Amino acid sequence: MCKSPTVLHDGTETACHRCSICIERAVDDWCGRNIAESKTVVASNAITLTYGRGRFNEVLHERAVLLTYSDVQKFFKLLRRHGYPVRYFVTGEFGSEKGRAHWHVIVHWLKAVPAICGRDQKGKWHDNAASLKRFNWQRIDDQKRPVFLQDGEPADWWPHGFVQVAGVEYEDVRYNCKYILKAMGDDERQGHLAMSKKPPLGHAYFRQLAEKFVEQGLSPQGVKYTFPEVKQKKKDGSSRPREFRLSGRSLELFLDQYIATWAKERPNQPRPISELVDLYQEWGRVVWDEDRVTANRVAWITERVMARGRDPLTLDGRDQRDVAFRLEKMWRNFATRKDMPSVGAYMRFFDRWHRMYCQYLSLGGQREPVLEAMADDAEWAFEHINGETDGET
């Protein structure tokens, strides 16, 4: 739960993305997705890219005073051009001692890994430079000879300075995100964050996970997942698998894959009951606790009024305001979703919302202008979409 959520004009609460809880949640999400991505690629490396001397041998490189992300983009393009396609997670920051810009990059190699060789700080060549603290990473040809450019300069993968290459562990990903964990003011906090998004990192792993659920005849009951090798220490000294949470577009793609795979592999078998999957298919989006509370609250108030046995059944002022507010909130939550819901999701939502609104009116609820406009839109949209669907069939 966010420490200081932002409250919109309609009463909807959204995460602030600035407090320690929001930051920790974001970092854990990035860590989990990077580890998931590393499970489905050839190899992964944590690479640090630094800036050395400038073009005229000056101590301060002209690129070290600003975070120039185009340098990293050219680094990726050079790798891809020579047959090394990658997916990536990049953070850029300024050093705490000298204030020089540098980049922390987690590279996921999709097909092959280039030879990690090059020159150390004294210019000595190393066929295996991965163990060095810093080196100039130079390309080699098929005969494993160093490659040089036409002007005689070494053909470095990163021509701006030194490189450090290591394996990828949970701590490495977390270290790459450390700049947003520093206790610094907003004016001092400077950094850059970029990652592969089409599809999101970890997509292939979560797709396989969804297919594994179908293969075992199970359904996901929550959004948490773990890796056996990633442990979290407890207060008593013991350890347990660290839990990560699926969220955002990654969660939606996971649920879509599960629903589609079940329909394909087990067309005549009903799915096991899962509130997460069932509500996602009904609402057309992931339904969190606040959505369930809204719907359940309206149903609970209705049942409570009916249990009073009054004739005619009416809502008192407090209940009326509560139901009206929650009906409006349900509508706005659905209308402000980022992705485009399916036709079926539209129809299910409009039908459900309109039935709840009619029930609200039957109990004496006032016809407020905002709710009336929403009801008209729901009725028109439901009839329009339903008519188009019937016409297609």
Give the model's pLDDT for residue 201.
94
Amino acid identity, residue 79? L
Q: Which residues contact 20 (CB under 8 A, 6 or more apart)?
A: 3
Comparing C-alpha atoms, which of 69, 66, 116 is closest to residue 90?
A: 69
Range scoring the smallest mean pLDDT among 87-101, 174-188, 228-242: 174-188
Give the model's pLDDT for residue 331.
74
Most confident of 13-17, 187-191, 326-330, 371-375: 371-375
pTM: 0.71
Q: Bigger pLDDT: 67 or 386? A: 67
Average pLDDT score, the chain:
79
CATH fold, domain 6-114+157-195, is Replication Protein E1; Chain: A, (3.40.1310)
- Determine the Cα–Cα distance for residues 199 and 186; give it in Å rounded to an integer: 31
Give the model's pLDDT for residue 56.
54
Q: Are 85 and 112 in contact (CB under 8 A)?
A: no
CA 96 to chain centre: 29
- Determine the Cα–Cα distance for residues 329 and 130; give it in Å rounded to an integer: 55
Give the model's pLDDT for residue 162.
92
What is the rounded average pLDDT of the residues 86-114? 89
Cβ-based burial of 367 (10 A; exposed 0-12, middle 13-18, buried ≥19): exposed
Give the model's pLDDT for residue 313.
46
Most confident of 8-22, 201-215, 336-350: 201-215
Give the model's pLDDT for residue 107.
95
Range scoring the smallest mean pLDDT among 150-154, 289-293, 321-325: 289-293
Q: Bigger pLDDT: 22 or 387? A: 22
CA 213 to chain centre: 21
State the maximum Cα–Cα separation within the chain, in Å, rounded to a whole number: 95
Digit-coded pLDDT (tens) for 178-213: 655 553 344 445 678 899 998 999 999 999 999 999
What is the rounded average pLDDT of the residues 240-245? 90
Amino acid identity, residue 374? M
